[in-house]
């Protein structure tokens, strides 16, 4: 029995640069978001705002590829992690009315059953009830997990999901670490909430991500990320059509990412004086 959160394929993917070169950092952790940036956070300015936006957010359809050659797609890695938090109710073949508990371990590379605690595995534990209408909750633990995307993941995500026909609500939270090219990156205070109407269950395909929050901390040049306005879109469009995400760095500097109605993206920076200025390439068209 495999189970996974109903995360939309075009939903926001968490992402982070393994290294950001040529940028200054600051000891200040001040900021207006719900999670504070780490010590030695990167100072956001006109030269690096688009690179940091790429590091903080990535989608399958909005191209923001202006980062360092040493960039690793943390977005892809963490999205893979979230996809392992399963709820494939249709294919379970089980009567779920009375509830089912599970404790299952899979190999991160092959997705075949494996031994709990072994390297390169993830373990799902929890329970779920219902079929057309129901709920699920549990945890997924990653042990030196390599999804073949250039990074190794460790840590635990706690999650819960509920559904009523095509309508669903998914929540996930936890702390992860990622190793890449000799660097260890902490993904702290990760929190995610999505509601939607699943197209494959007869719904519209619309989704709304009301919570996307985490602290990206590689030891230096980190930042904090949080939604200030829910990200809205449809899983079959090329990108979100509404929503705002705020990234806070050192010295109260910020980058603001706005998803526009034409599915383009506007990136603005604030060096700490409270004034936002659009980057040179904004708005960036949806591809």
Q: What is the pLDDT along the chain (287 residues), one digit of tens a residue?
A: 333 444 333 333 334 333 333 344 554 444 344 789 999 899 999 999 988 887 777 532 222 222 232 334 444 555 566 565 544 433 444 444 556 788 889 998 888 999 999 999 999 888 877 767 888 888 989 999 987 777 788 999 898 888 888 898 888 889 989 887 778 888 889 888 889 898 878 899 999 989 888 888 888 888 999 999 999 998 888 788 999 999 999 999 999 999 999 988 999 999 999 999 999 989 988 75
Domain boundaries, position 140: 3-278
Q: Tell whether 59 is covered by a domain.
A: yes
Cβ–Cβ under 8 Å, residues 202 and 211: no
Residue 31, domain member (yes or no): yes
In a domain, 284, yes or no: no
Contact 34, 258 (CB under 8 A): no
Is 65 within the bounds of a domain?
yes
Task: Give domain status of residue 283, yes or no.
Answer: no
Q: Confirm whether 139 is domain-assigned.
A: yes
Q: Are 219 and 20 in contact (CB under 8 A)?
A: no
Q: Can you give the pLDDT at residue 270? A: 96
Question: Taking phi first (over 0 means left), then psi (-120 to 50 degrees means alpha), and beta for anything else, what does residue 69 get?
Answer: alpha
Number of domains in the chain: 1
Whether 118 is covered by a domain: the verdict is yes
Asked whether residue 22 is domain-assigned, the answer is yes
Quick one: which of 43, 18, 17, 9 has its CA closest to 247? 43
């Amino acid at each position: 029995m495999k189970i996974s959160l109903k995360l939309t394929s075009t939903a926001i993917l968490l992402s982070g640069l393994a290294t950001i070169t040529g940028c200054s950092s600051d000891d200040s952790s001040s900021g207006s978001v719900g999670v504070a940036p780490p010590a030695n956070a990167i100072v956001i300015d006109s030269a690096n705002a688009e690179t940091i936006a790429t590091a903080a957010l990535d989608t399958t359809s909005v191209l923001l590829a202006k980062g360092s050659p040493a960039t690793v797609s943390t977005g892809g890695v963490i999205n893979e992690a979230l996809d392992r938090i399963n709820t494939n109710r249709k294919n379970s073949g089980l009567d779920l009315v009375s509830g089912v508990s599970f404790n299952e371990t899979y190999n991160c590379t092959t997705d075949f059953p494996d031994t709990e605690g072994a390297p390169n595995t993830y373990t799902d534990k929890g329970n779920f009830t219902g079929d057309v209408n129901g709920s699920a909750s549990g945890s997924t633990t990653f042990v030196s997990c390599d999804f073949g995307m250039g990074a190794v993941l460790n840590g635990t995500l706690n999650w819960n999901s509920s559904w009523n026909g095509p309508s669903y609500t998914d929540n996930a939270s936890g702390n992860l670490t990622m190793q890449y090219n000799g660097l260890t990156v902490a993904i702290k205070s990760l929190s995610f909430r999505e509601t939607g109407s699943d197209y494959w269950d007869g719904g519209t395909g619309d989704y709304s991500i009301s919570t996307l929050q985490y602290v990206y901390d590689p030891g230096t040049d980190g930042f904090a990320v949080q939604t200030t306005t829910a990200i809205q879109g449809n899983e079959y469009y090329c990108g979100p059509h509404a929503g705002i995400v705020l990234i806070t760095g050192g010295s109260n500097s910020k980058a603001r990412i706005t998803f526009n109605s034409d599915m383009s993206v506007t990136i603005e920076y604030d060096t700490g004086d409270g004034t936002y200025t659009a980057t040179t390439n904004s708005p960036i068209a949806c591809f």
